[in-house]
Structure 1
Amino acid sequence: MDRSDLSRVRRPLEVANGLPNAHYIDPTVFTEERQAVLFDNWAGLGVGDDVPEIGDAVPLTFLGMPLLMVRDRAGKVRVFQNICRHRGMILVDTPRKIEGAIRCPYHSWCYSTEGKLVSTPHVGGPGQNTHEGIDRALLGLIEVRSHIWMDVVWINVSGTAQPFEEVNADLIARWAEFDKPLHHGGADSRFQLAVNCNWKLAVENYCESYHLPWIHPGLNSYSRLEDHYHIENAGHFSGQGTLVYRQLKGEDGKSFPDFEDLSDKWDTSAEYITAYPNVLLGVHRDHTFAIILVPEGPERTIEHVHLYYSDPKTNSELRARNTEQWKDVFEEDIFVVEGMQRGRHAVGFDGGRFSPAMDGPTHMFHHWVASQLERHRTPLAAE
């Protein structure tokens, strides 16, 4: 299939093909998707707990772009391009606390945590810290549009997306019961997985429950394939839910405290949704998680996993067990996504076909990616 022809991807589920091989292995297509799929939409960058206290600053690289996440003096999380407006020098190269200002290590231009340029030493000559040709008001840090929901820091690099609350209105409403303080579990509730695959394969695998009996036999022993249901919202998110969620219990028989005021549905159910493009979310009566997929190239992705609870003082032993349990589940998927990645080098593969009964959420994601690319190639193209 010609990579430029995505019409077969956007066919109805029963007759559609998946995205062509080039969308997983071709650097040129990767660059196109970087803009059309990730920069032009609300992509996940990190979590608020990366900068838990005022003045905390963390440098991040997202698709080659150097960024700086800062919690400013008002407690707001901001994202800036991590460069000085003078000569483009990287400002912060390791996580640290900003005690005064963000100082460029090259010529000492200084910025507030709100991004304002506050000092330009010797810019007008020795001892002259101002110059009529340098308007500090116009030379603040370049701020990247950002929004926090479920503690995920979402960014819209291009600045062209509709407001986050509009784009994700249906998902926010669906999980309104979890719109309450989420407490990160701390150091034992975050981990990373490096996988040798295109980021989209991680999304595709997460969206569906079809693989459970063979890839997750332990999970499938109590949350069976037939206990799952599809979650589909065209153009925004897709995933799966289960009618059988089994809480983890300690030796004393106690489990994590539930989130308050949940409806009866959540007594036994849990849901796992991909918020397009790159954030995998899970909600349960007693904990949530977020997985942020950060592409490092066409064939490599870092999965940043964070777990949250209703109470900041959960049992540390039980918390560590929960983290390890989820890590085991996510690691079971690695050989699958890496195997599919290797398969994308088979020149005869046409993108594959979908199970009309089982692959709806995955097809919906493919359809959305194709629509973003077609809009990028032909701005007037409609959904």
Structure 2
Amino acid sequence: MTANITDLSAVRRPVAEAQGLPNAHYIDPGVFNEEKHAVLFSSWAGLGVTADVTEPGDAKPMTFLGMPLLMVRDKGGAVRVFQNICRHRGMILVEEARKIEGAIRCPYHSWCYGTDGRLVSTPHVGGPGQNTHESIDRNLLGLIEVRSHIWRDVVWINVDGNALPFEEENADLIARWAEFDKPLYHGGADSAFQLEVKCNWKLAVENYCESYHLPWVHPGLNSYSRLEDHYHIEKPDAFSGQGTLVYRQLKGTQGEVFEDFEGLSEKWNEAAEYITVYPNVLLGVHRDHAFAIILVPESEARTVEHIHLYYATPQTDDAMRAANTKQWKLVFEEDIFVVEGMQKGRHAPHFDGGRFSAVMDSPTHCFHAWVAGKIETHRSTAQAAQ
């Protein structure tokens, strides 16, 4: 599929002069395919959370931009990501989430793999009753592993394998949130939900980065955490978002609250921050809970948001936890009409990508500039290889 070679020269200008990404970056399948390689496969992208595979042997099949993947917690307790295919004939290995009791067995010819990816059995490969053959070197035919890293319970993957180490790539954000480098406890089944939105994945990022829309889209939230209580967070080529100086804790019927993360400075008594880790993970931190939203692009015009809520302690009040999930679900649902409306708007042929408020939109422009930079680097590399 050939990409429409878009002109990105105006996107990386200073925010007061810049234009947004052209329409094709939201509606053109060819450009979507270009971004898959230039932006998503070349970066540390979010795939899932370790809470999806809590026990050794747990395996969950996933699809990321058409790629069949298998997230496994191996018998040693480590979470790993493999391509979900047999090395023999490319058959899908695991169709539904389940526990691997023995080995991962291919349903086609029964080749078997350990949860660490090793090829351990090749029945009849050399003929009836002959389970080995000199042409089949098991040491070279283990499952294809995808480079992965765990941070804040998110399973991050670098598909092309060329990104800097995760800790180096995201050193500034890790340092910024060092106070939250503590155990996170997933709230369980009632603390995870999905939202399917009819928009390009980037629009969900753009909307999350800024607080400009709060008075009109989130009037309930804005009633106490006002527009003027927010500040920008920007690290070019890495992350951007917003923070608030007014965070109101959820209270139970008797005035009880969730326990705080230990050792936080006074800054977090009323502050909270909401940051997009480029390309597709939206993170939020508060004194008493956190969340992760993983945006999984399904096409140029469809995205699934996977939302997970976390707490400072393994045990939390059921009613409060459910109320917190309901509260956040409402906030995130309020954004759907906006991102879907912008998606529809990208079909207007004379829209030039729009403008940015130099005062209110700089975190969003920061993201646009990063995407444009990744694409330009990808194009230059491809051209040099010709």
Pick the TM interval, shorter chain.
over 0.9
Q: Distance in 1 between the 2:25 and 2:129 partners?
A: 55
Say if 1:287 and 1:307, in contact at 8 Å, map to a contact too: yes
Q: Distance in 2 between the 1:380 and 1:27 partners?
A: 19
SS of equivalent residue, structure 1 residue 140: coil
Cα deviation per residue 1:243-266 (whole Å; 9 max; x = unaligned)? 000000000100000000001100
Structure 1 position 293, deviation (Å): 0.1
Say if 1:293 and 1:303, in contact at 8 Å, map to a contact too: yes
**Which residue pairs with 2:111 in the alignment?**
109
Kindly indicate whether residue 367 of structure 2 is the aligned counterpart of residue 368 of structure 1. no
Q: Distance in 2 between the 1:148 and 1:320 partners?
A: 26
Q: Distance in 2 between the 1:113 and 1:193 partners?
A: 31
Q: Distance in 2 between the 1:5 and 1:334 partners?
A: 29
Q: Distance in 1 between the 2:188 and 2:124 partners?
A: 43
**Which residue pairs with 2:122 in the alignment?**
120
Letter of the 2:287 partner, please give it.
R
Q: TM-score, normalised by structure 1?
A: 0.98
Q: Which residue of 78, 81, 97 corresponds with 2:83?
A: 81
Q: Distance in 2 between the 1:126 and 1:178 partners?
A: 57
Say if 2:6 and 2:24, in contact at 8 Å, map to a contact too: no
SS of equivalent residue, structure 1 residue 329: helix
**Which residue pairs with 1:34 in the alignment?**
36
What are the ranges of 5 or more consecutive residues in structure 1 without an aligned counterpart?
A: none
Matches within 5 A, 1:335-374: 335-374=337-376
**Which residue pairs with 1:275 in the alignment?**
277
Letter of the 2:138 partner, please give it.
R
Letter of the 2:306 partner, please give it.
H
Say if 2:251 and 2:320, in contact at 8 Å, map to a contact too: yes
Letter of the 2:214 partner, please give it.
L
Structure 1 position 222, deviation (Å): 0.2
Percent identity, aligned pairs only, is 77
Structure 1 position 15, deviation (Å): 0.4
Say if 2:200 and 2:303, in contact at 8 Å, map to a contact too: yes
Cα deviation per residue 1:124-175 (whole Å; 9 max; x = unaligned)? 0000000000000000000000000000000000001000000000000000
Say if 1:63 and 1:296, in contact at 8 Å, map to a contact too: yes
Q: Which residue of 190, 202, 205 corresponds with 1:203?
A: 205
Q: Distance in 2 between the 1:53 and 1:220 partners?
A: 41
Q: Distance in 2 between the 1:289 and 1:225 partners?
A: 21
SS of equivalent residue, structure 1 residue 305: strand
**Which residue pairs with 1:302 in the alignment?**
304
Say if 1:195 and 1:301, in contact at 8 Å, map to a contact too: yes
Kindly indicate whether residue 19 of structure 2 is the aligned counterpart of residue 13 of structure 1. no
Q: Distance in 2 between the 1:380 and 1:73 partners?
A: 41
**Which residue pairs with 2:132 in the alignment?**
130
SS of equivalent residue, structure 2 residue 21: coil
Runs of 4+ off more than 4 Å? none
Structure 1 position 5, deviation (Å): 1.4
Q: Which residue of 185, 188, 209 corresponds with 2:187?
A: 185
Q: Which residue of 215, 218, 221 corresponds with 1:216?
A: 218
Say if 2:268 and 2:287, in contact at 8 Å, map to a contact too: yes
| Compared CA separation, residues 358 and 3, structure 1 to 2 (3 A) | farther
Say if 1:3 and 1:23, in contact at 8 Å, map to a contact too: no
Letter of the 1:87 partner, please give it.
R
**Which residue pairs with 1:285 in the alignment?**
287
What are the ranges of 5 or more consecutive residues in structure 2 without an aligned counterpart?
A: none
Q: Distance in 2 between the 1:202 and 1:84 partners?
A: 35
Q: Distance in 2 between the 1:340 and 1:5 partners?
A: 20
| Compared CA separation, residues 380 and 24, structure 1 to 2 (3 A) | closer
Say if 2:205 and 2:276, in contact at 8 Å, map to a contact too: yes
Q: TM-score, normalised by structure 2?
A: 0.98
Q: What CA RMSD, in Å, does the superposition of the two structures yield over aligned residues?
A: 0.9
SS of equivalent residue, structure 2 residue 298: strand
**Which residue pairs with 2:161 in the alignment?**
159
SS of equivalent residue, structure 1 residue 181: coil
| Compared CA separation, residues 8 and 187, structure 1 to 2 (3 A) | same
Structure 1 position 43, deviation (Å): 0.1
**Which residue pairs with 1:56 in the alignment?**
58
**Which residue pairs with 2:257 in the alignment?**
255
Matches within 5 A, 1:226-245: 226-245=228-247
Q: Which residue of 130, 133, 139 corresponds with 2:141?
A: 139
Q: Which residue of 260, 263, 266 corresponds with 1:264?
A: 266
Say if 2:240 and 2:367, in contact at 8 Å, map to a contact too: yes
Q: Distance in 2 between the 1:145 and 1:99 partners?
A: 25
Q: Distance in 2 between the 1:76 and 1:179 partners?
A: 19
Q: Distance in 1 between the 2:180 and 2:119 partners?
A: 38
Say if 2:6 and 2:22, in contact at 8 Å, map to a contact too: no
Say if 1:55 and 1:72, in contact at 8 Å, map to a contact too: yes
Letter of the 1:225 partner, please give it.
L
SS of equivalent residue, structure 1 residue 226: helix
Cα deviation per residue 1:339-368 (whole Å; 9 max; x = unaligned)? 000000000100000001000000000000
Say if 1:3 and 1:20, in contact at 8 Å, map to a contact too: no
Letter of the 2:316 partner, please give it.
T
Q: Which residue of 150, 172, 175 corresponds with 2:174?
A: 172
Q: Distance in 1 between the 2:236 and 2:55 partners?
A: 37
Q: Distance in 2 between the 1:124 and 1:143 partners?
A: 26
Cα deviation per residue 1:80-115 (whole Å; 9 max; x = unaligned)? 000000000000000000001000000000000000
